[in-house]
């Protein structure tokens, strides 16, 4: 079935969608290895679920910004292709689940019609650029980071420098020194500043990351001028692409490269890319997104505000979910969403509320909620009533009672136990026993379904990640407890310590112990992370250790939340092509495809893009040749070096060093038409030599080497 397009969809997006459809058809016929297809579809926001035969679709919303009509479009698409649920993520995306693979091209087309993309939402790409949801209305911001976040997103979208890196790359922009976008845990984190001369710029942090080994970002610059931000980010990506690990997945983030070579060497290598950059400076168009200044909004239905003065729930909502913007006399309302999940009917109704009472600028937040802005004070009572009717007026936004969580075993292949189940149990317990926690904004509780950290448990004051423990012949679902992360009283970002592992059904008891202990022993006004640092890890281990005692297990401890069957750890079922694939032939095809992209960019006058596509032709071709000699490499730099050394006199180059000199000339030249043309011609010649070399090897061996053939199964 052919994909239907409207005139609103750009030619670039139409091409992307048609290529996705073509790749899906090739994979279904067994013409494409599963690993190659997986890599391709992830870069288009299509992610395999735990359940066989269905996909999670991640919708990329730069800095979480969305209009009311776009929210309606996503809701309609969820009804048509998914389950009617919209899941907000900690990276300010929206995810849809249980989508059929064959439906994804048309789903994407329907989104692009509303100017929403899936491109590079997953995979080894630059993921969604996140930004403080309060940007543009934050009373403490030096300037609005919204156009900067969007410009970075726009500059990197479809950019050849970041399509197939060793691992994902994450960028955040906070609106103020409070670093509400958690720059300290990102590959590049930016905090806006204005210097003494009145010039705009950013504090720049690099090399942060979460996962099993969290790493604190290092400060590259206390102040970097605004027009140097995008060139610096491009330089970082080019260095990571060339020198970053590619074989050992657990070592493939930029944080490990930074640890290996050090900040000074890393920055020197970034500077070494400067000559080859498309732009040495890049001026941000601060009008690239619609103005966030207040617009005209409707007057709400008459409500007796005198009666509301005694309404405790309304007053709690005002105190915890509403704040005055930097535009005096205008207000923002924050929406707390359990599990980050919203039904499509609720989303459409929310869009109607936004159109009536707020500006057309909704932001998805990093704690899986939403922020509405530009609300007139006289409309707040009507807005509250409208939100309350939708179940969206619960007080305590971003408080201790507002837990951040990933979907866990409900959909994710990597999850170990139910994140949703334990989150519901903890919020229920806190609502009943600690109702005043809705006023506590210093304690953040975050939960992940595994150690990888989609729920950002490492940066929580109280964090949990799903795990398991063995008790004889049985496996018990468990929670790893982490304490002391997040921000301390000085505003410094911290990672939590792993303290103890407890059965997941004892999670509410564990949190109850921690909260009661804090209430009883913390100093007045003491931040939780400061309290943890003062008491020390051993104190909390001793406090929680009785809950870890497996000798006192009850029958319920052997089952997970939301389940009745005995718990077992299992990996979700993936896809299987069940065919034999000639990998080297596939690599040769990939090299020709990249050469085609290079020629297309050249014909459009995009010299820098043509050069980088051509660079990838060299890398892919050299990798294919090394495969035929069973030589494995970890980095692109290693691929070039090993090919240079092992293929002297094989019909490619005559002296060691010749190949490296040609390929690494990429950062020794300005991105001119002449260099692009020469570089591309040399690469085309190299790929032809690759083809001839492979055919000669086949003739010598009689058949393609056995090592070229694999069963293309999902790992």
98-153 pLDDT per residue, tens? 999 999 999 999 999 999 999 999 999 999 999 999 999 999 999 999 999 999 99
CATH number belonging to the domain at 11-112, selected among 3.30.460.40, 3.40.605.10, 3.50.50.60, 3.90.480.20: 3.90.480.20
Residues 706, 711, 714, 715, CA torsion sign: negative
Report whether pLDDT(608) > 80.
yes
What pLDDT, on the 0 to 100 scale, is given for residue 715? 31
The DSSP symbol for 142 reads: S
List residues bridging with 404 in a β-sheet. 446
CATH superfamily of 578-713: Nucleotidyltransferases  domain 2 (1.20.120.330)
Q: What is the mean predicted confidence (pLDDT) over 43-68?
A: 94
250-271 pLDDT per residue, tens? 888 999 999 999 999 999 999 9
If pLDDT is split at 50, 70 and 90, which confidence band does 699 have? confident
| Residue keyed to tokens 């890398």 | 619
- Angstrom distance (rounded) from CA 447 to CA 466: 8
If pLDDT is split at 50, 70 and 90, which confidence band does 301 have? low
The fold for domain 404-558 equals Sulfite Reductase Hemoprotein; domain 1 (3.30.413)
How many helices (H) does the chain have, and how many strands (E)?
Answer: 21, 24
Helix (H, G, I), strand (E, B) or coil at 690: helix
Closest CA to 94 of 117, 126, 69: 117
What pLDDT, on the 0 to 100 scale, is given for residue 706? 35
Residues of the chain with pLDDT > 90, as a percent, come to 78
CA 432 to chain centre: 34
What pLDDT, on the 0 to 100 scale, is given for residue 713? 34
Q: Provide the token pair at 511.
A: 């949190």
Q: Provide the token pair at 459.
A: 């940066």
What pLDDT, on the 0 to 100 scale, is given for residue 712? 35
| Mean pLDDT taken over the chain | 91
Strands (E), 493-543: 493-494, 497-503
If pLDDT is split at 50, 70 and 90, which confidence band does 708 have? very low
89-98 pLDDT per residue, tens? 999 999 999 9
Pick the residue with more confidence: 157 or 586? 157
Report whether pLDDT(582) > 70.
no
- E strand or H helix at 95: strand 94-99
* Report for 162-166, 489-493, 661-665: range of highest mean pLDDT: 661-665
φ, ψ for residue 60 (rounded to 5)?
A: -90, 115
381-396 pLDDT per residue, tens? 999 999 999 999 999 9
Strands (E), 450-569: 462-471, 474-483, 486-487, 493-494, 497-503
What pLDDT, on the 0 to 100 scale, is given for residue 710? 38
Q: What pTM was computed for the model?
A: 0.92
Cα angle value 585/588/589 (rounded, 5°): 90
Helix (H, G, I), strand (E, B) or coil at 126: strand
- Angstrom distance (rounded) from CA 89 to CA 459: 15
Residues 440, 441, 443, 448, CA torsion sign: positive
- Angstrom distance (rounded) from CA 536 to CA 542: 11
If pLDDT is split at 50, 70 and 90, which confidence band does 297 have? low
DSSP character string of 284-323: --TTSS---S----PPPPP--HHHHTT-HHHHHHHHHHEE
CA 675 to chain centre: 35
523-558 pLDDT per residue, tens? 999 999 999 999 999 999 999 999 999 999 999 989
| Residue keyed to tokens 């997104």 | 289
Closest CA to 553 of 488, 477, 482, 625: 477
Query: Cα dist. 476→176, 348, 511, 512 in Å?
Result: 43, 41, 19, 21
Q: What is the mean predicted confidence (pLDDT) over 329-354?
A: 97
196-243 pLDDT per residue, tens? 999 999 999 999 999 888 999 999 999 999 999 999 999 999 999 999
If pLDDT is split at 50, 70 and 90, which confidence band does 306 have? low
φ, ψ for residue 192 (rounded to 5)?
A: -70, 140
**Which value, to the nearest 10 degrees, does the dihedral of the CA atoms of residues 330, 68, 182, 502 take?**
110
CB-CB contact of 42 with 35 (8 Å): no
The fold for domain 311-389 equals Alpha-Beta Plaits (3.30.70)
Q: What is the mean predicted confidence (pLDDT) over 175-182?
A: 95
Q: Write the class of the CATH domain 145-276.
A: alpha beta
Report whether pLDDT(702) > 50.
yes
Pick the residue with more confidence: 293 or 164? 164
> What secondary structure, in 3-state letters, does 465-483 show?
EEEEEEECCEEEEEEEEEE
Q: Would you list the domain boundaries of the chain?
A: 11-112, 145-276, 311-389, 404-558, 578-713
Q: What is the mean predicted confidence (pLDDT) over 597-625?
A: 95
Q: Provide the token pair at 538.
A: 């051993």
Q: What is the mean predicted confidence (pLDDT) over 685-705?
A: 79
- Angstrom distance (rounded) from CA 606 to CA 603: 8
What pLDDT, on the 0 to 100 scale, is given for residue 541? 97
Q: Estimate the crossing angle of helix 68-81 against helix 344-357, to 10 degrees.
A: 170
- Provide the pairing of β-strand 130-131 with 171-173: parallel
Q: Are 11-112 and 311-389 in the same CATH fold?
A: no
What pLDDT, on the 0 to 100 scale, is given for residue 186? 96
- Provide the pairing of β-strand 462-471 with 445-448: parallel
Contacts of 301 (CB under 8 A, 6+ apart): 382, 385
């Amino acid at each position: 079935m052919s994909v239907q397009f409207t005139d609103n969809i750009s030619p670039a997006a139409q091409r992307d969608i048609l290529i996705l459809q073509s790749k899906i058809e090739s994979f279904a016929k067994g013409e494409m290895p599963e690993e190659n297809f997986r890599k391709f579809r992830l870069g288009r926001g299509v992610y395999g679920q735990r359940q066989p035969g269905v996909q999670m679709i991640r919708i990329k919303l730069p800095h979480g910004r969305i209009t009311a009509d776009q929210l309606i479009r996503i809701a309609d698409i969820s009804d048509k292709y998914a389950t009617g649920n919209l899941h907000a993520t900690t990276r300010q995306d929206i995810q849809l689940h249980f989508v059929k693979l064959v439906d994804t091209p048309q789903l994407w087309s329907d989104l692009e019609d509303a100017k929403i993309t899936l491109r590079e939402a997953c995979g080894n790409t630059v993921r969604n650029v996140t930004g403080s949801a309060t940007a543009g209305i934050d009373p403490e911001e030096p300037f609005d980071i919204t156009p900067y976040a969007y410009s970075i997103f726009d500059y990197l979208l479809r950019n050849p420098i970041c399509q197939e890196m060793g691992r994902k790359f994450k960028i955040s922009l906070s609106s103020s020194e409070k670093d509400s976008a958690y720059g300290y845990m990102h590959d590049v984190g930016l905090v806006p500043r204005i210097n003494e001369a009145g010039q705009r710029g950013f504090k720049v942090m690099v090399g942060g990351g979460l996962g099993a080994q969290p790493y604190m970002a290092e400060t590259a610059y206390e102040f970097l001028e605004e027009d140097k931000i995008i060139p610096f980010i491009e330089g970082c990506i080019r260095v990571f692409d060339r020198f970053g690990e590619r074989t050992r997945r657990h070592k493939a983030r930029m944080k490990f490269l930074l640890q290996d070579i050090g900040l000074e060497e890393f920055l020197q290598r970034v500077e070494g890319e400067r000559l080859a950059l498309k732009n040495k400076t890049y001026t941000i168009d601060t009008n690239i997104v619609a103005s966030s200044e207040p617009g005209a909004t409707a007057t709400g239905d008459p409500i007796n505000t005198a009666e509301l003065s005694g309404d405790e729930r309304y007053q709690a909502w005002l105190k915890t979910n509403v704040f005055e913007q930097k535009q005096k006399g205008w207000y923002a309302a924050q929406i707390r969403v359990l599990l980050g999940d919203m039904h499509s009917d609720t989303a459409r109704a929310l869009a109607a509320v936004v159109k009536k009472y707020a500006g057309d600028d909704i932001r998805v937040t990093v704690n899986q909620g939403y922020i509405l802005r530009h609300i007139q004070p006289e409309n707040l009572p009507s807005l509250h009533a409208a939100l309350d009717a939708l179940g969206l007026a619960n007080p305590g936004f971003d408080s201790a009672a507002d837990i951040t969580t990933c979907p866990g075993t409900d959909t994710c292949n990597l999850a170990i136990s139910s994140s949703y189940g334990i989150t519901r149990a903890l919020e229920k317990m806190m609502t009943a026993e600690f109702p005043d926690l809705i006023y506590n904004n210093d304690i953040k509780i975050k939960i992940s379904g595994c150690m990888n950290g989609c729920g950002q448990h490492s940066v929580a004051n109280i964090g949990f990640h799903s795990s398991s423990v063995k008790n004889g012949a049985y496996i018990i679902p468990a929670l790893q407890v982490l304490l002391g992360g997040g921000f301390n009283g000085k505003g410094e970002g911290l990672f939590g310590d792993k303290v103890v592992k407890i059965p997941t059904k004892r999670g509410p008891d564990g949190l109850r112990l921690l909260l009661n202990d804090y209430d009883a022993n913390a100093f007045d006004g003491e931040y939780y992370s400061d309290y943890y640092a003062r008491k020390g890890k051993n104190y909390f281990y001793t406090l929680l250790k009785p809950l870890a005692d497996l000798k006192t297990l009850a029958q319920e401890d052997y089952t997970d939340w939301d389940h009745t069957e005995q718990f077992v750890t299992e990996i979700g079922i993936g896809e299987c092509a069940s065919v034999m694939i000639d990998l080297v032939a596939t690599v040769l095809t990939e090299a020709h495809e990249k050469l085609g992209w290079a020629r297309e960019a050249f014909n459009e006058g995009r010299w820098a893009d043509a050069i980088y596509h051509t660079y990838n032709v060299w890398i892919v071709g050299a990798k294919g040749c090394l495969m035929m000699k069973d030589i494995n490499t970890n980095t692109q730099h290693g691929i070039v070096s090993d090919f240079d050394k092992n293929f002297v006199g094989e019909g490619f180059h005559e002296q060691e060093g010749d190949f490296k000199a040609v390929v690494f000339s990429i950062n020794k030249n300005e991105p001119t038409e002449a260099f692009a043309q020469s570089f591309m011609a040399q690469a085309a010649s190299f790929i032809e030599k690759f083809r001839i070399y492979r055919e000669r090897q086949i003739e010598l061996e009689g058949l393609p080497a056995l090592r070229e053939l694999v069963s293309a199964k999902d790992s």
